[in-house]
Amino acid sequence: MSLSRKDIDEIMHLLEASRFDRLSLEMDGLKLELVREGGARGRGASTSPTRAEAVPAAMPAPTPAPTAPSRREPVEGRAQAEGLVEIKSPLLGVFYRAPKPGEPPFVEVGSRVEADTVIGIIEVMKLMNSARAGVAGEVVQILGENGEMVEHGEALMLVRPD
Amino acid sequence: MGIRRILIANRGEIAVRIIRSCERLGIETVLCVSEADRHSLGARMATKAVCIGPASPAKSYLSVETVVQAAMGYGCDAIHPGYGFLSERAELASLCETEGVIFIGPTAAQIEAVGDKLRARSEAIAAEVPVVPGGPVGTPEEARRLAEEIGAPLLIKAVGGGGGRGMKLVEDLADLHATMDMASAEAGAAFGDARVYLERYVREGRHIEVQLLGDGAGRVVHLGERDCSVQRRYQKLVEETPAPRLPPATRDKLLAAAVRFAKRLHYRGAGTVEFLYDVGRDEFYFLEMNARIQVEHPVTEMVSGVDLIAEQIAIAGGEGLRLRQEEITLSGAAIECRINAEDPARDFMPSPGTVTHAEWPKGEGIRVDTHIVDGAMVPPFYDSMIAKIIAHGPDRASALQRLCNSLGMTRIEGIATNLDFQRRILADPDFAEGGIDTGFLARLLEKEPA
């Protein structure tokens, strides 16, 4: 069972028309959470009236601004200065830090990783691809935002190598 | 609702060309770049550039899913595919249709209809557009019978081929079977489709094509023809409009035939119907339809004053066809030279590298479409075309004079180019006279190699 973009749009419209602020839907291992702006707070800034936060199996939340300032330059500076290694996204897609929403992230700051440790998921058109550390060491900073678009080669995390 | 943000799934000069129209229209652009193109001119000009993959085209510019994911993820209403890469992949148009992203181009069904040569040919026949005598063949016996009907010389063409790839000439019908076996095996390996068909070979032919715009609801206009007969191994090098020395009655018939073909398909967007003009017989035959913007579209823009990219966007955005046939006026003549990063002295070997210095011509009636500035990289992974220099004038002679002058003003340092070779073509008396056939360039090279 999976939801199409059209299904989600329809659900979003239903929520908008209702007097509820939040909708949680769970079916066959798929979980969809919709939060109306001004409803439950503390989920980060939202720019559309209704914001979809879906698990990887559903749809990525649309990222509104294409002109977000690049995070790359200062990161490269820090990585170089402190001898840190960047874990780069192997693909362009939507970055997820956890296997499913509500579950703990694959890694946190302070986690130890090996080269083949899965550190996140990159979704490309509903296909889930594992992102691996590619380096052994300790995670010192997490740069990729959960549920946001990342470019091919964008730094997701900084690692202090062994 | 109009289009506000376009994802450009292409690179090089056409990416820059699309961005320029978008800037004029107040539309934001998100440009897909591979790792090799991160610092390209287009990446700097676009509202945002996003890296979609490594340099290898298969993992970046040819990845349908990545391109659509990027469009959706960065909030783009539409995708412009440019030419080449994914521009004629029905799969992209179809995924856009499913996901609610506007594809700036024809429908997936139309791409499929013109992408299969046999189907396109039967559509042409149905639209009463003349086709080259010939047809599909299965068994050797069928081939023998059809070949005798067509007569030698004839061409064996791959159903899945195009752009001059997958063709073989048979001068003597005794060689038919051997050549067919080879053509079929090659077609299977190159295109994953071993089907071939036979076609009359035209000794003295010219490549003449018609620029069209369709609204997708059955209304189609043409913007005149282009003559692209200066070709080396089926790759176009010089294009011009109008086609020199084409009898006016033949031109009218050719334009009407192209419009008929596109109308039958209810074609949507910009497209080009290509014809082979048989000089000896004063007849023309349908070759194929290209369901995209073409490299050589600027010559049409110069004589018509129409921004074809802007019209593509308007049609895709639901504004329909903004031009009526009687409103389109074509004035003067325009000629375009393709400047390639290749070395004519070394059998036109590609010459990638860094352009240390580039100076492009300026002047009345001159247009340059390029992504090459000082320090630009020409990566080895993609097409070698780095610029198009276009000249417009009140008549062909003045356009040609302006083009010759502007090639003289052009400097490209750091890599080898075909600039001098292009000057030689333009200076040739046969070319200056106009109306040369597709064998012109091969004869020129035979006389005196580059």
Nearest C-alpha in B relative to A89:
B53
- Are B258 and B287 contacting, i.e. CB atoms less than 8 angstroms apart? no
Contacts of A93 in chain B (CB under 8 A): 66, 69, 73
Q: Would you state the pLDDT for residue A153?
A: 97
Cis? peptide before B350, omega within 30° of 0:
no
Measured distance CA(B341)–CA(B370) in Å, rounded = 12
pTM of the model: 0.82
Amino acid B273 reads V
Task: Give the Cα-Cα-Cα angle B429, B435, B439 (nearest 5 degrees).
Answer: 80
Interface check for A67 against chain B (CB to CB < 8 A): the answer is yes
Number of CB atoms found within 10 A of residue A162's CB? 9
Confirm if B277 and B287 have CB atoms less than 8 A apart: no
Query: Residue A136 contacts by C-beta under 8 Å, 6 or more apart in sequence?
Result: A113, A114, A115, A161, A162
Interface contact B73-A60, CB threshold 8 A:
yes
Please give the sequence-ordered ranges of beta strands (E in DSSP) within B35-133, or none if there are none: 48-53, 78-80, 102-103
A:76-115 residues touching chain B, CB 8 A cutoff: 91-94
Q: Count how many pairs of residues, chain A against chain B, have C-beta atoms within 8 Å.
A: 64
* Residues of B carrying an active site annotation: 292
Measured N-to-C along each axis, helices B396-409 and B419-427 cross at an angle, to the nearest 10 degrees, of 150
**Contact call for residues B416 and B208 (beta carbons, < 8 A):** no
Cα separations (Å) of A158 from A116, B153, B326? 16, 66, 63
* CB B276, CB B201: distance < 8 Å: no
What pLDDT is attached to residue A26? Answer: 65
Check CB contact of B69 with chain A, cutoff 8 Å: yes
Flag whether pLDDT at A24 surpasses 80: no
A residues 115-144 closer than 8 Å to B (CB): 123-125, 127
Cβ-contact B391, B400 below 8 angstroms: yes
From its phi and psi, is residue A82 left (phi > 0), alpha (psi between -120 and 50) or beta?
Answer: alpha
Min Cα distance A29 → chain B (Å) is: 23
Which residues of chain A lie closer than 8 angstroms to B28, CB-CB?
A: 66
**Nearest Cβ partner for A92 among B5, B66, B95:** B66
Give the pLDDT of residue A46: 35
Place of tokens 């369709």: B214
Residue A55 pLDDT = 38
A91 interaction partners in chain B (CB closer than 8 Å) = 53, 66
Question: B289: which residues sit within 8 A by CB, 6+ positions away?
Answer: B114, B120, B261, B262, B271, B272, B273, B274
- A60 — contact with chain B (CB < 8 Å)? yes
Helix (H) or strand (E) holding B28: strand B28-34
Distances (CA, A) of B95 to A21, B107, B236: 33, 11, 31
For residues B377 and B371, give the distance between their C-alpha atoms in angstroms, rounded to a whole number: 10
- The DSSP element (H or E) to which B270 belongs, if any, is strand B268-278
Q: Which residues of A touch B52 (CB under 8 A)?
A: 92, 151-152
| pLDDT tens digit sequence for A60-115 | 444 444 444 444 556 677 777 789 999 999 999 999 999 998 999 999 999 999 99
CB distance B336 to B296 below 8 Å: yes
DSSP three-state, residue B70: helix
pLDDT of residue B140: 87
**Distance between A12 CA and the closest CA of chain B, angstroms:** 16
Residue B269: count of CB within 10 angstroms of its CB: 26
C-beta of residue B120 within 8 angstroms of C-beta of residue B288: yes
3-state secondary structure of B127: coil
Query: Which one is predicted more confidently, A38 or B243?
Result: B243
Report the run of H or E that residue A27 belongs to, with start and end: strand A22-27
Confidence band (pLDDT; 50, 70, 90) for A20?
Answer: low
Q: What span, in angstroms and rounded, lies between the C-alpha atoms of B210 and B267?
A: 14
Q: Residue A107's pLDDT is what?
A: 97
Which token pair is B269? 């967007």
> Cα(B133)–Cα(B146) distance, rounded to whole angstroms?
10
Q: How far apart are CA B21 and CA B25, in angstroms?
A: 6
Nearest to B85 by CA among B103, B63, B100, B110: B63
Residue ranges of chain B with per-residue pLDDT less than 70: 1, 163-164
Q: Which of A63, A127, A154 sits opposite B65 (nearest CB)?
A: A127
Predicted local distance difference test score (pLDDT) of residue B51: 98
* β partners of residue B156: B168, B198
Residues of A in contact with B99 (CB under 8 A): 5
Interchain contact B9–A (C-beta under 8 A)? no
- Distance, in Å, from the CA atom of A132 to the CA atom of A107, rounded to the nearest integer, reads 11
Question: Which has more pLDDT, A48 or A9?
Answer: A9
| DSSP state at residue B131 | B
State the Cα–Cα distance between residues B14 and B82, nearest whole angstrom: 6
Statement: residue A50 has pLDDT above 70: no
DSSP string, B182-251: HHHHHHHHHHS---EEEEEPPSSEEEEEEEEEEESSS-EEEEEEEEEEEEETTEEEEEEESPTT--HHHH
| Residue A97 Cα distances to A106, A108, A118, A119, B446, angstroms | 6, 9, 10, 7, 63
Torsions phi, psi for B16 (to 5 deg)? -60, -45
Q: What is the pLDDT of residue A81?
A: 77
Instruction: Round to whole Å and give the CA distance between B279 and B210.
Output: 17
Between β-strands B220-232 and B235-241, what pairing exists: parallel, antiparallel or unpaired? antiparallel
First to last CA, chain B: 53
ipTM above 0.85, yes or no: no
pLDDT bin (cut points 50, 70, 90) of residue A19 is: low
Assess A53–B contact: CB distance below 8 Å, yes or no.
no
Report how far residue B157's alpha carbon sits from residue B304's, in angstroms, rounded to the nearest whole number. Answer: 35
